[in-house]
Structure 1
Amino acid sequence: MALIDEVKQVCDRLASQGWRDLLLQHGLDITATDLQQELAKELPSIDRTLAGFTDFASDGIRGIEPGSPARSLLYHALASSAVHPTGNNSETYPTLAELDAIENYIYSLTNRRLADFPNAVIAVFAYQYRIAARSPHRIHADMAFSRTGVARVGTTAANYSAFRRSFWVESEDHRLAVMPARYAAFLAEERLLSAEDAILEEQSGDRTQQFLFPIHKLFPGDECLRDVNITLEFLEYHRNEKLQRVHTHGGIPVLDGFDINQAPFVRDSHSSRDLVELQSVNASVLLVPQPTPQLVYTSTQRNSVSNRDEIVRFQVPPENFNNRFWTSYQIAANGRGREAPEYVNMRHLVETSATGEQKLVDLNKEIASEDEFLQFLAQGGYEAAHFSDNSCDGCISVNVNGLSRNLAVRPAYSLVTAPDFFPLADQIAIERWVDNFLPTLRDHFNQGGPSPLSEGRQPPNPDLPLPDSETKAFQRDETAIAAIVGSAPRTTDLPELFQPDSLVSFLPDAASNVFAPGWDVSLGQDRRGNFYAAYGLGSPFPEDAKLCAALNSFWPAVAPDAARTFAILSVPTALPLLDSELGYHPQHPRVKAGEVTAQKGWDGEYGPFFEDFDGLFVNFANKDRSDYISNTLAGQIRVSELAQVDSAELIRRMEALRFCIRELPPNDTVSTTQLLLVAAEKIADWTQRSDRARSTLQGSGYLYVFATVQGSEQITNDVRRKRLRVRNRFTCQITQDTLCWQQDDGEFRCVSMLSE
């Protein structure tokens, strides 16, 4: 079928769903008898005041502009997450395959030969069409490309949200859906930055560095390039080797009878199909993580000594000065990068009977005494379960047949990593807030920061082979592989209005460039230097996630901030999560008053609360007993509470926190304060609250309640909880421009934010 006929099928299906009426407002009739001519004609009356079209390229004048999706009105309308017709169901919107067909048609109209690209190579890119604010140049909506894609693990199949033009993190029954990344093959040119190119958040040194820029999409058939008929075959290779490296680079001896060169210690695409799969989407492809019933799980291997299938495990070494972090086993690094997972779960004992039967024992629950629990972990010598997860890294390559000359192929780097709990939060937006409004990053974030992976300039894992050979997939000089690139705009006209956006990114701006060891990827290391690698992440990844969330949200647009869940005073909360997101304990005052229902938070824990116990205390989760692996096995890790929180909301919460801490005694900074945020609520309208301090509090805002504490931590009757005695309590009522606060039961004092 000719490409124009595929486009006609798309238009015919969508015309009655509101798209014909919408596009007629711009003078484009997608039901025209001669659709090819209709799409090629100049449109004199494109209405850029309509919602979703304010950021359509100002020099776009046709339904289809050869070689330019961003200047093609039809493609913009169907692909932009800001454009919506009158209907609102999945059938109203184009599928990914239909968008792909229109892309192919756009590039086919350039009518070029391979000879027109004398310096071309074939390169695989992850790519998305984005609104202006998130495009590489930020002038108009446009394509964004990267040689790195970020897919995410889950417990159920991928859920494509046609309304968003992207995948969504939850299924309809609120399970974590796997998040694919989309790739396609392009003719590309490697060159220094030129006036034709754009890079999202250009970095120092980029002007002297080579980048690959896509210049022509490749797709099967005889319309891609003149005088040739091509076929495409995508291939992938991915590897998970964390358990193997715990032993080969982590200094832990292998128990007799286990083979660490076999699964589950190392799993890859050559020996296992349970990590990922490729799914064709017309001429592009999805890298889809395979869902697992639980995010983490125990695995077995045939033990050559016992001749039985046994849970893979390791003997926990005794505690020394550098092999513990709280109650996690820690593998020390030799430098900036890592050669093995930094943290390993050691709180699940494998008990083997005389007959060989095995049982998993959760030490958090088994040992009631806190002293005995900590002493048992410190002594080691017991056998702890290894846990598997499906995080991995790899490459995606392509075989292109039918071209008139052989071209080098440059694969994409593929990350399969932990869920993103803030899919609508844009890390770059938070980074710009830091740059524009904070004196320094460390005034707010005690650790970590919002720098996205797209700003990183490290090469990918150099040990990864190509999918179909032993040749290494990447070279050490490919340091720009995580950059997001595109074409430079032909105009400097900025869009007039802000565009709402619900697109979820699978490009590296949705991952972190801060490695300790990292949420999405770690910084690897060998004798030749540093590089990106997945195997430095925690084993399994929720072990790492707990520590990073507890330490003031290392990555504010990906990782939730659980510092106040655990009352971490040394690294204060930087990104306030609400009580409803952290969870209401059954003894929470609002639960006891019947105002809310007891429920666990996003991580399976309960948040902090004020407790009357021979005086006023803060009751909080015991960081040593909290176990995200136990919570994951129980199905208690959820994204529902956080998924709708976008970067604008996160910034509002952080601004309110910053203002409170600056005004409350001792007028400190967020990163150094000893004020413990105990309660946090979002207020829809202060005028509806009977406890409003002043009539000047109008509209929406927040209620934050802080405490200063004294004395040492006390264990409660529930060893999973601790308490600290309150010295003073500070209640803050906050709107966009006003803060009213009181100490204990004193008078409220009010101050205007606008005067700051």
Structure 2
Amino acid sequence: MALVSDVQLACSRLAAHGWHSLLLQHGLDITAADLQQELIKPLSVDRTLKGFEDFSPEGERGIEAGKPAESLLYHAFASPNVLSAVDGSQLTAFPSALEIEQILNFVYGINPPSVETLSAYAGSAPLAIVVFAYEYRPRPETVHKTQADLCFSRTGVARTGTAPALYDAARRGFLPFVETDAQQMRAIPARYGAYIAMQKKGDSASFGPMSFQSPTDENLSFWVPIHKLFEGKECLLGLDLTVHLENYQINEKIRQVHMLYKGTGWQEPDILNDPFVITEGLCHWANSTDVGAGLLVPNAKERLVELAYYQGQPLSFTMPAGTGGLVHGRHRLRDDGSIEDLNNVEGVDAIVKAGGYRTLHYQDAMADGWVLARCPALESYGMDRDSVAAYSIIGAPDFFPLCGQRELKAWSSDPAVFPCPTPPCPEVWHTRVNPLSDVRFPINPTLKGNYFADDDLGATAIVSLARVEPVGEPVLNAPEIALAQRQSCLPDFASGVFGPGWEVGRGLVDKPFANVLNGYMLASPFTEDARICAALGSYWPGVAPDSTRTFEPRKVASSVIPLTDAEIGLTDAPSWDGLKGPVLAEFEGRQVVQYQAYEYSDYTSAALNQQLSLAVTGHTTTQQYHQRVLAMHRAYQALGATEKAEKSQWSVLSFLIVQQPDEQLEDAEQEAGHRLEGEVMYMFLYKHGSISTPADDFKRRYVDIDARVQMYVSQSALLVKEDDSLWHLHDESI
């Protein structure tokens, strides 16, 4: 079937659902008898219509050959902000993932170029078949931030889950929620495609990369897509293409344990086998007739963490000493074959640190690898042999799927919105905030096939199509454009801070601190790393749960982005980690704060019991996440706690988003003589005293209260009540 026939079918399906009248506002009739001619005629684009404000200023046709961002029909179909009909009501149907890919193919196939034409366009730049992860994004999330645009990276980030992926047509993407089960989370796919691409030195005015790093990027080589490859005779002039995407994924985290530590009881050749090394059952290609070619989907697992088996038996090993909490070892195997849960043994941290006992291995479904394209028809041009792979990551679940690392870094580094003397606010976070897209490290060159070179440092960068004319400055006073409310598969939504990391790690077996990205340096299983990250105030990745308020005060951490009472299990909603946060209690005749001790928390066991959840945290928007960080920062400032040691003296007992009208807020406003505008957050902080362990429960901690401070925080003002004093407006200018 010709490409235009696919486009015609999509337009016919959607026309009656508000799309015909919507696109007629721009002069485009998607029911025209000669649709191809209709799509190439000049239009009068109305950029005041909702969803079209960030359509390319150069765009004036339904389809502009080879230019997706200048093709009005592609923008309308692919933009997650095109949601409204002409009358402002929501459209009643949306393009499928398959239809969006068909339109994209038509953009490149309506006037197919020859290979010679593409070579001439590239000039002296090397050409190759290159695989990219890609997605169409609203203006604020693009490389140049001047219009909605396609964004590409040679790194894609899919995410593991316990339920099959589900496409949300209105959002033009995927989300992890399972509405009927708060403890389930859907796998998140990554979209890959093969392109003829040219290799160029970084050029911020042309293709980027995003968040251009000068002078580093000016001296690095990046692959820049020119023309999308797809099957059939309409892709390249005079050629009939077949395009095959190959994928390889590997999870070798259990093998890594036995490579790093001696005396575990396992060595080669055993550790070369499954589950020490897992290469099967991790992911699959979605049916191209349903969603288009190139959608790599992690296989849904019954649990995020599962007991590992070897030769038909549960896999046990001798726990090594000093793993730093990155290897689960809390299920001790007794001589009689029974399992002892060390979480029920006093002093479990010391037992795990010392090691020397038999314990069980657990595996997760995270992995890394590559996606490679084969196109035999291009062999005679030398491009098939030199095909360039994309780095493919299957990462851990993202408990804040709507929030990106890039946005957090940009926001926190802007002194106009976040008052920090040195970005990115080292006095706020325990370490730097960085997205994976800003990292300039090579990919593990020892991956099967040896497709990644030591000097290939730009694989995680995000680029756009090259622009002939220099990109101008973002338009001043341009209408505000909503961010896409979906999970991104590009690396600016992944962490570029490693310790060992969240989605991917850094280092090699024989060079522990080498700057090489890989999957095997991560914790085994990932829940061990998540426990440490969260308890240190989202220490390594910026956008991650902050569980510091769930556990007793510890000098190593203070809250950075406080979780709400609901998110830590103090309401009827399921907590994100299966635990319950602190509550007030009576102990020896005084009021104290009661905690479950951090030492006895176990996120691996929580995953085994299907207690991890993103049902509550997952709906937090980027703006809300930023507001929480800023609210916590302002709270510390109001307390006079500006140094890390001072912050660690204060703990958050309660944090919530006030649902107005609220009688307690109204009483506080009346007492303070000031009304708060907009969204209001409530905080109850206390300065902690001594910490006690009751004789009848070594898992519990009682913390004395030396001072109490309540706060209501809005964007512009802060009401404070200290102990039994009156509510008052805090002067934040001091």
Confirm or deny: 8 A CA contact 1:625 1:719 kept in the other structure.
Answer: no
TM-score, normalised by the number of residues in structure 1: 0.88
Q: Which residue of 1 aligns with 2:70?
A: 71
Distance 2:129 2:266 in 1: 46
Confirm or deny: 8 A CA contact 1:551 1:563 kept in the other structure.
Answer: yes
Residue 600 to residue 6, structure 1, CA distance change in 2 (3 Å): closer
Distance 1:257 1:41 in 2: 66
Report 1:263-662 matches (<5 A).
Answer: 263-268=274-279, 272=280, 274-281=281-288, 284-302=293-311, 309-317=312-320, 319=321, 323=322, 325=324, 328=325, 343-351=326-334, 353=336, 358-365=337-344, 367=345, 370-371=346-347, 373-374=348-349, 376-377=351-352, 379-403=354-378, 404-407=380-383, 408-436=386-414, 437=418, 438-440=420-422, 441-466=424-449, 472-487=450-465, 492=472, 494=475, 496-501=478-483, 502-525=485-508, 529-555=514-540, 558-566=543-551, 567-584=553-570, 596-597=571-572, 600-613=574-587, 614-662=589-637
Decide which of 125, 142, 151 is 1:144's aligned counterpart: 151
1:708 Cα deviation from its structure 2 partner: 1.0
Moved more, 679-688 or 739-748: 679-688
Distance 2:268 2:70 in 1: 62
Question: What do residues 554-590 of structure 1 show as CA deviations (whole Å, max 9, x unaligned)?
Answer: 2565311111112334311111111111111xxxxxx
Partner of 1:231, secondary structure, is coil
Question: What do residues 376-398 of structure 1 show as CA deviations (whole Å, max 9, x unaligned)?
Answer: 44553321111011111000111
1:518 Cα deviation from its structure 2 partner: 0.4
1:406 Cα deviation from its structure 2 partner: 2.8
Confirm or deny: 8 A CA contact 2:691 2:701 kept in the other structure.
Answer: no
Moved more, 283-292 or 48-57: 283-292
Counterpart residue type for residue 259 of structure 2: T
Moved more, 449-458 or 404-413: 404-413
Residue 51 to residue 256, structure 1, CA distance change in 2 (3 Å): closer
Question: What do residues 491-524 of structure 1 show as CA deviations (whole Å, max 9, x unaligned)?
Answer: 6352721122313211000111100110111112
Question: What do residues 189-209 of structure 1 show as CA deviations (whole Å, max 9, x unaligned)?
Answer: 001134432221012300011
Report 1:105-144 matches (<5 A).
Answer: 105-118=106-119, 119-144=126-151
Residue 701 to residue 281, structure 1, CA distance change in 2 (3 Å): same
Decide which of 264, 285, 288 is 1:253's aligned counterpart: 264
Question: What do residues 263-285 of structure 1 show as CA deviations (whole Å, max 9, x unaligned)?
Answer: 111111xxx2x111122436631
Residue 379 to residue 515, structure 1, CA distance change in 2 (3 Å): closer
Question: What do residues 456-514 of structure 1 show as CA deviations (whole Å, max 9, x unaligned)?
Answer: 00011111123xxxxx1211111100000003565635272112231321100011110
Distance 2:268 2:315 in 1: 10
Decide which of 210, 223, 226 is 1:200's aligned counterpart: 210
Counterpart residue type for residue 151 of structure 2: A
Partner of 1:170, secondary structure, is coil
Q: Which residue of 1 aligns with 2:122?
A: none
Partner of 1:648, secondary structure, is helix
Confirm or deny: 8 A CA contact 1:19 1:85 kept in the other structure.
Answer: no
1:172 Cα deviation from its structure 2 partner: 3.2
Counterpart residue type for residue 108 of structure 2: Y
Residue 697 to residue 718, structure 1, CA distance change in 2 (3 Å): farther
Counterpart residue type for residue 23 of structure 1: L
Confirm or deny: 8 A CA contact 1:427 1:647 kept in the other structure.
Answer: no
Counterpart residue type for residue 39 of structure 1: L
Q: Which residue of 2 aligns with 1:593?
A: none
1:256 Cα deviation from its structure 2 partner: 9.1
Distance 2:42 2:157 in 1: 38
Q: Which residue of 2 aligns with 1:161?
A: 168
Counterpart residue type for residue 688 of structure 2: V
Partner of 1:654, secondary structure, is helix
Residue 88 to residue 539, structure 1, CA distance change in 2 (3 Å): farther
1:352 Cα deviation from its structure 2 partner: 5.1
Partner of 2:706, secondary structure, is strand
Distance 1:137 1:463 in 2: 34
Moved more, 293-302 or 257-266: 257-266
**Percent of pairs with identical residues:** 34
1:609 Cα deviation from its structure 2 partner: 2.5
Q: Which residue of 1 aligns with 2:192?
A: 183
Q: What stretches of structure 2 of length at least 5 have no aligned partner?
A: 120-125
Counterpart residue type for residue 540 of structure 1: P
Residue 231 to residue 579, structure 1, CA distance change in 2 (3 Å): same
Partner of 2:618, secondary structure, is coil
Partner of 2:248, secondary structure, is strand
1:621 Cα deviation from its structure 2 partner: 2.6
Distance 1:519 1:735 in 2: 32
Partner of 2:286, secondary structure, is strand
Distance 2:114 2:265 in 1: 57
Distance 1:666 1:722 in 2: 24
Q: Is 1:238 paired with 2:249?
A: yes
1:742 Cα deviation from its structure 2 partner: 2.0
Partner of 1:536, secondary structure, is coil
Distance 1:556 1:648 in 2: 18
Distance 1:730 1:238 in 2: 51
1:98 Cα deviation from its structure 2 partner: 0.8
Distance 1:560 1:658 in 2: 16
Residue 609 to residue 665, structure 1, CA distance change in 2 (3 Å): farther
Question: What do residues 643-665 of structure 1 show as CA deviations (whole Å, max 9, x unaligned)?
Answer: 11012101111212111211224
Distance 1:64 1:242 in 2: 47
Question: What do residues 78-114 of structure 1 show as CA deviations (whole Å, max 9, x unaligned)?
Answer: 1001111449999711111111111111011343111
Counterpart residue type for residue 278 of structure 1: W
Partner of 2:208, secondary structure, is strand
Q: What stretches of structure 1 of length at least 5 have no aligned partner?
A: 303-308, 329-342, 467-471, 585-595
Number of residue pairs the alignment of both structures matches:
699
Q: Is 1:681 paired with 2:656?
A: yes
Decide which of 686, 708, 723 is 2:702's aligned counterpart: 723
Question: What do residues 533-567 of structure 1 show as CA deviations (whole Å, max 9, x unaligned)?
Answer: 01111100001100001111025653111111123
Confirm or deny: 8 A CA contact 1:90 1:162 kept in the other structure.
Answer: no
Distance 1:177 1:431 in 2: 27
Counterpart residue type for residue 132 of structure 2: F
Distance 1:522 1:374 in 2: 24
1:324 Cα deviation from its structure 2 partner: 5.2
Counterpart residue type for residue 632 of structure 2: L
Distance 2:89 2:527 in 1: 36
Confirm or deny: 8 A CA contact 2:226 2:466 kept in the other structure.
Answer: no
Q: Which residue of 1 aligns with 2:57?
A: 58
Partner of 1:50, secondary structure, is coil
TM-score, normalised by the number of residues in structure 2: 0.91
Q: Which residue of 2 aligns with 1:38?
A: 38
Residue 114 to residue 240, structure 1, CA distance change in 2 (3 Å): same
